[in-house]
Amino acid sequence: MQTEEYLLEMNNVSKSFPGVQALKDVKINVRPGEVHALMGENGAGKSTLMKCLFGINKMDSGQIRLNGEPIVIDNPSQALRSGIAMVHQELEQVPQRNVMDNIWLGRYPRKGLLVDDKKMYEDTKKIINSFNMKIDPRTQINHLSVSMKQMADIVKAVSYNAKVIVLDEPTSSLTEKETEALFEIIRKLKSDGCGIIYISHKNDEVLAISDRVTVLRDGQWVATENICDIDSNKLIKLMVNRELGNRFPPKNKTIGETLIRIEGLTSVYEPKISDVSFEVRAGEILGIGGLVGAGRTELLESIFGLRTVESGAVYVDGKDIFKSRKHSKNAALTMVTEERRVTGIFPQMDIRWNTVSSSIQKNIGKLGLISMKKVEKNTQWAVKAMRIKTPNLKTLISTLSGGNQQKVLLGRCLLNEPRILLLDEPTRGIDVGAKYEIYQLMIELAKEGKAVVFVSSEMPELLGVADRILVMSNGRNAGIVDAEECTQEMIMTMAAKYL
């Protein structure tokens, strides 16, 4: 293959950070009108490579060629001017501004000294219509669903006339229907000659939408394969360098008495939940399914006390924890949120403080001051228990991969010795090997007699990990089914019950 046939080439790219070699002689090339998947376990170097392409990280060595010509990219602005755009997994938007403001931020069309609002609206509408999207350019962006926010960022990328677009975990919070809508947009971009770099941990999606795939492992290039020559098992083996047997660990078979009971829970603010009731027993894993916007996250937040509840009760050991602040604390509920970057991590702090931030009292020394010895001991326990990949305990959490950030948050929760865990999309953006580890952890916690409640947009995950599945539909409990007797079709039917 001659170099001029490639739209983009990255050759012999190396990048190191203090204490870690993130990339070593990595390569990837993308053809016009091609979807090129980039895969690997968390920490394999995918995000670092793309940050080098987008000018966020500066390469130690290597070369980037665009349309056959060498190019040096020092910052994201230069990347965008060169025709390279990136839609990040953690969306970076201004929530209080409307869609078109977010798209044209920093480059508003002007009429004299004033912003040309009419032209901005028309230009935005033109791009939106070209993809058959249903987004009003004047809608405040934080009023959109996660999927629509994702679409708005794709519109922003297209507005730069980008010829190379990087999509980082674009379906991590999308339903199957929304994913198919995204795929239609990707196919349209392909037909326009764009090269798409598609980062995902979902093998089925990669096999469905991609033309080729490049696999990284431990910061090094492993293989580039045509999709027609590869299957899911081979892809997994390339990523983790081992065969994965069963996709899900064996479930816990010992179920105890009811540990938590929810009765008639109704929230005040939109999106509302209405009269939701269920119970979870010690040793049980309850999965919560449904479409995006069905109230799954809102249900967990209401139970945990993050949302104002209009009516209903949450009973732990037969006592209403809403009526007793002291008992609520002793009930040992803990929660891992879906948006780890926004509501989970402290990005400017290191792993130690992110790990112990919710268990400070356990790290107090004899003089009533924080004991760094205890902090480091508890952090080391979490790093070992969660198998967190990090150069050292003083590493900023923001420099870790998304999966390792998630493991830090899980370690933080476990230091509180919870009896009931509320997990919102616990494997979002996590690779196949790390997912199995999270599943094992959840099942081990159940075996210890804890109750685990988790939200997931992946139906195979719900069926493979949960003992029972509660399906939410438009803020209401559409039913609870035994996972072993349920199918994906049954879940979808229930999810549409109150629409």
What tens digit of pLDDT does each residue of 60-73 get?
999 999 999 999 99
Specify the CATH number of the domain 3-240: 3.40.50.300
Residue 413 has pLDDT above 90, yes or no: no
Instruction: Give residue for tokens 């999606």.
Output: 205
Taking residues 297-313, report their average pLDDT.
Answer: 90
Q: Contact 432/201 with Cβ under 8 angstroms?
A: yes
Taking residues 169-184, report their average pLDDT.
Answer: 78
pLDDT score for 232? 84
What is the distance between the alpha carbons of residues 63 and 52, in angstroms, rounded to a whole number?
Answer: 10
pLDDT band at residue 380 under the 50/70/90 scheme: very high
Taking residues 287-292, report their average pLDDT.
Answer: 88
pLDDT score for 3? 46
Taking residues 268-293, report their average pLDDT.
Answer: 90
Residue 331 has pLDDT above 70, yes or no: no
Taking residues 113-137, report their average pLDDT.
Answer: 90
DSSP letter for each residue of 30-86: E-TT-EEEEE-STTSSHHHHHHHHTTSS--SEEEEEETTEEE---SHHHHHHHTEEE
What is the distance between the alpha carbons of residues 232 and 85, in angstroms, rounded to a whole number?
Answer: 29
Give the percent of the chain with pLDDT over 90.
47
What is the distance between the alpha carbons of residues 433 and 402, in angstroms, rounded to a whole number?
Answer: 14
Type of residue found at 32: P
Put simply, whether the predicted model's pTM sits higher than 0.85 gets the answer no
pLDDT score for 273? 92
Name the helix (H) or strand (E) containing 197. strand 195-199
Give 217's Cβ-side CA count (13 Å radius): 14
Residue 55 has pLDDT above 70, yes or no: yes
Which residues, listed in sequence order, are joined to residue 311 by a DSSP beta bridge?
A: 266
Q: Contact 202/37 with Cβ under 8 angstroms?
A: no
What is the distance between the alpha carbons of residues 401 and 454, in angstroms, rounded to a whole number?
Answer: 22
Residue 478 has pLDDT above 60, yes or no: yes
**Same fold flag, 3-240 and 258-495:** yes
311, two tokens? 């009516």
Highest mean pLDDT among 103-107, 440-444, 475-479: 475-479
Q: Contact 346/352 with Cβ under 8 angstroms?
A: no
- List CB contacts of 493: < 8 A, sequence separation 6 or more: none
Could you please state the CATH topology (level 3) that the domain comprising 258-495 is classified under: Rossmann fold (3.40.50)
Taking residues 408-423, report their average pLDDT.
Answer: 90
pLDDT score for 240? 75
Q: Contact 471/494 with Cβ under 8 angstroms?
A: yes
- List CB contacts of 72: < 8 A, sequence separation 6 or more: 64
Tens of pLDDT, residue by residue over 430-462, are 767 778 888 988 999 999 999 999 999 888 889
Residue 300 has pLDDT above 80, yes or no: yes
What is the distance between the alpha carbons of residues 426 and 138, in angstroms, rounded to a whole number?
Answer: 33
Instruction: Write down the H helix ranges in 344-467.
Output: 351-356, 372-386, 402-414, 432-447, 459-465
Taking residues 338-354, report their average pLDDT.
Answer: 83
Phi-psi region of 492 (alpha: psi -120 to 50; beta: other; left: phi over 0): alpha
More confident residue, 230 or 179: 230
pLDDT score for 326? 56
Query: Where are the chain's structural domains?
Result: 3-240, 258-495
pLDDT band at residue 123 under the 50/70/90 scheme: very high
Q: Contact 199/177 with Cβ under 8 angstroms?
A: no
What average pLDDT does the chain have?
87
What is the distance between the alpha carbons of residues 179 and 205, in angstroms, rounded to a whole number?
Answer: 9
